[in-house]
Chain A
Amino acid sequence: MYICMAGRNDDPRNPLLPGILDMLVLRTLTLGSLHGYGIARHIEQTSGDRLRIEEGSLYPALQRLLVRGWVTSRWETSSTSRRARYYELTEDGHRQLAQVVSSFDQMVAAVAAVMQTG
């Protein structure tokens, strides 16, 4: 299964995806602070390359999380003296993750229930 999460936030084809993407990002960041590319690579790798994260959805999602205050960011200079922006989960973000996961589980159960009938 290959789900391409490209396109804009308000893409009518995939209305649920932005929320799921946020959840994935938050989960990724529980493992430590990462820059944008790192987050995308981690999700891709852990999903066994079944999820492909495009810049067009990743960076708006990161900005959304910044607006809501669930993550913070800082610029760090790497060893090669190049700057990269690292994102970190906040306390609020930790709390939100549990809530978002719970909502997702409920949604999955609901979808499954519908698919099982008839």
Chain B
Amino acid sequence: MTAILRIWRRLLMSLRGNRLDLELQEEMQQHLEYRVRDAVNAGMDEDEARKAAARRLGGMLRARESSRDVWGLTWLVDLVQDIRFGTRLLRRNPGFAMAAVLLLALGIGGNSAIFGLLDALVYRPLPVAAPDQLMLLGARATIGTGFGMQGKERTLYTYREYQELRARQQSFTGVAAASEAPGESNVRVDGGAGSAERATGTFVSGNYFDVLGVGARIGRTLTSADDRTAGAHPVAVISDDYWTRRFSRDEAVLGRTIAIGRASLVIVGVAAERFAGDHVAHRTDFWIPLSMQGEVMPHQAWLDEPMALWLRLVGRLRPDESIAHAQTGVNVALQQILADRGGSLPTPEARQRLLNQRITLTSAAAGVSSVRNRFAGSLSIVMGMVALVLLLACTNLATMMLARATARQKELGLRLALGASRSRVVRQLLTESLVLSVIGAAAGVVIARIGGQLLLRMASGGPDPIALALPLDQRLLGFAAALTLLSTLLVGLVPALSASGANPSVVIRGEAGTARGRRFRLPARKLLVSVQVAMTLVLLVSAGLLVATLRNLRADDLGFDRRVFLVGIDGVNSGYAGARLLDLAQRLTDSMRGIGGISGVAVSDNGLLSNDASVAPVTVIGDKSRAEDERFAAFDLVSDGYFRTLGVRMVAGREFTDRDRHGAPRVAVVNESFAQYYFGDSNAIGRQFTVAQPKDDEAAAPSITIVGVASDVSNHGPRQAQDRQFYLSYYQAGDMNPGLNFQLLPSGSAEVAGPTVRTAIRQIDPSLGIESMETAGTALERLLVRDRLMAHLAQAFGALAMLLAATGLYGVLAYTVARRSREIGIRMALGARRAEIVRLVVWDGGVLVVAGAGIGIPASLLLARGLSTQLFGLTAFSPTILAASVLVLLAVATAAATLPARQATRVDPLVAIRSE
């Protein structure tokens, strides 16, 4: 209790700060008076008594300070005083203050923006209970759906496998399943009337919310009971965001329905406020029980389909369980499941291949995210770049403060002479920097908010908008605060130490600005400018590399005509299958071919530049030597004239024709990589291979004859490596239910008009859903979003860096000219020409730039290697870009030196020589 009282008294006293001091002063003055009086009474002469008392003055001062220190919060009083002083100083120098705040705001704000993005996308754990206990059953997050078999590392599972794994494992308190399906779909809220809306749904197991530890805000979440019987639980839980967006937070939302596919789902709950699913940066509007898959996606029954790999699994570890132990347990369970299934496979090789599969557990504390997979690396690089910008801003400020330190030498010297300790002065100067930094940080946080949202919008701009919440939470604010402190130290420490190190007597005598004071400050500024030049060079080189990469990506020959217009249609969910689906494809092809301005139409299973891909194991007849993993090749189902429509060159043989239909011999076209891999330089035409169809076993697989070799096509964009690929005739698809992806080639230079295509499709069947419609060029640009963003950001940072470095250089040169005006005057008086004076200034600047380049060139080479994952078509070591960057730097430096050089030539020799 006494301790609390003591602290309370201390606080009260410190608030009275000044008054305490004044009172002490008065008290001790009185003490002195009494002393004098007593001395006089004792017989001393009054004058003598007063002199004796005056000699005690120093002791009194110290006594006052000690008395104040007893209260212990002097640092607080000092801080308040310093802050007041600092703000007053800034108000008197508004130009400097604004420039400083702007610089700091950009630096701190930029860094905070990127940090906010990185944190939200990569580091932040899900808003669930004990996220560290969540484990993904898979080595990495595979977002999507697969058919057939996975390779060694399992990441996706069938429904049967999920049930069995869940039943057989003992290391988890619960295992939940989630899917990407049905994804963004047409839904109708509140029944059949009204037009279809788009909303994104996700199938999840009944225990999903339970395992994750997420409750409901209104109503209930899904439970295990919702999984019991297929098709019998037409319920849905909506997300808080969807509830806000679509239902305006209506409390009476329970009981309303969402119609999707064949099902009419009743909304039974709204999920907890901050929960948006375990798929980060992906908008999920509502969750549907797995049991409803068949109803929501008619014609695609995945619950019983042994080949449908549509589920990713997340488990919550038991508290006392180790990851290693759990992993072993899960793999044992998997082996048991596979062994049971393996019995049905015909060959021992197939059985062995099955048993080679395994599950690796990885942390799911931060959920899964396709956006993260795409952007995490780039964001880290951007973080590095923006940190450099902050350093540049701080060094610029530091040079400014060093310059001001010279101006304030008299004031500070006086304070030191009057007894202020050096640490006190340093503290005061640092507090001034702190005030600047805090104001800058406040503005920076605003910039961070805006910047973060802006970046998100720029990175989206495709059919899959990035839904990422960027709250202003304590992590972001904590980061900004840390940066503020760091920049305070960076900006203020060196000037403070240098300014407070002034010899008081020298300063008061007015000799400040001569030898001693400057001996440290100017070289310090020069060093800072050189460092700035180095950092600018690094940023310029990075920008150059990234811009070149973007250009290379855009110019890369993908092997097909970029004018091709791509249309993706959903046929399966409108009820087409088997022969009807193929017939629909034919009718659509004919309809689209009738559009004016179209010179070719082809249909394929996988869309060009889409995320869809198919792979199949290939056995070339007469060649059993290949190892098991290498037997897989990519394949696609394409219609007649596909290669001609895409502008793909046929290296040998022929394309598919209308004779390659059901019942005719099975034929294939392979790409050059395939032919090279299996047949080397010999002719591939006429050779045969089999494909183990997912449903058939290998022994009975029909042999396929190669009739053509096409040149390689980069199906998935410039960054994808050239794959072995073979093509089968679309109309020999049997019952594989291929996708309906159309490629339209415009004739001449005209573009394909979207609306006319839409009309052509509607004419065949108005109920068909059009999933996508864009030119290949647009699709490519969408793939390059990340690279575009990186290039733009790097250019912006490079420009900013140049501006900052130029300002720093200008400042130092202007100062040097002013300082050397006497010398210049003398030179001119002795007959030096203007050119020589200019050369003097340029030489000064040149030394700095060369020194900076000396540091910067090796630094760029080193740091550019960190960019190598982003580059395309060039390596991090690019002499051209390096040379170009240096040239740009020189140009900017020259521009920065012009004004000081001109001022130097304008020096009036007579005035200069006379001034002291």
Contact = CB atoms under 8 A, between A and B. Distances in A.
Judged by DSSP, the binding face of A is helix
B59 A69 contact: no
Given A67-B10, A67-B71, A69-B5, A59 B28 contact: yes
A9 interface: yes
Contacts of B62: 8, 56
Contact-residue bracket for chain A: 20 to 34
Contact of A55 (B28, B68, B70): B28
Contact of A35 (B10, B23, B30, B68): B30
A60 interface: yes
B60 interface: yes
Contacts of B10: 67
B31 A60 contact: no
B63 A60 contact: yes
B71 A9 contact: no
A63 interface: yes
Interface of A: 6, 8-9, 35-38, 40-41, 54-56, 58-60, 62-64, 66-69, 82-85
B457 interface: no
B5 to A, nearest CB: 6
B9 A9 contact: no
Contacts of A35: 27, 30-31, 34
Given A36-B31, A55-B28, A69 B67 contact: no
B332 interface: no
Q: Which 8 pairs of residues, A with B, have the shortest CB-CB distance?
A: A63-B70, A37-B34, A60-B66, A55-B63, A63-B67, A56-B63, A59-B67, A37-B31
Nearest to A66: B9
Contact-residue bracket for chain B: 20 to 34
Contacts, number: 73
Interface string B23-41: 1101110110111001000
A60 B6 contact: no
A63 B71 contact: yes
A109 to B, nearest CB: 28
B397 to A, nearest CB: 39
A35 B31 CA distance: 9
B31 A9 contact: no
B30 A59 contact: no
B422 interface: no
Given A60-B66, A67-B10, A69-B2, A55 B23 contact: no
A68 B10 CA distance: 10
Contacts of A66: 9
Nearest to A82: B30
B66 A9 contact: yes
A68 to B, nearest CB: 6
Contacts of A68: 2, 6
A32 to B, nearest CB: 17
Contacts of A8: 62, 66
Given A60-B69, A69-B2, 15 more contacts: A35-B27, A35-B30, A35-B31, A41-B38, A56-B59, A56-B63, A58-B63, A59-B28, A60-B66, A62-B67, A63-B67, A63-B71, A68-B2, A84-B30, A85-B23
Contacts of A58: 63
B59 A55 contact: yes
B26 A83 contact: yes
> In this complex, which of A37, A55, A63, A67 has the most chain B Cβ atoms within 10 angstroms of its Cβ?
A55
A64 B69 CA distance: 10
A67 B6 contact: yes
B198 interface: no
B14 to A, nearest CB: 11
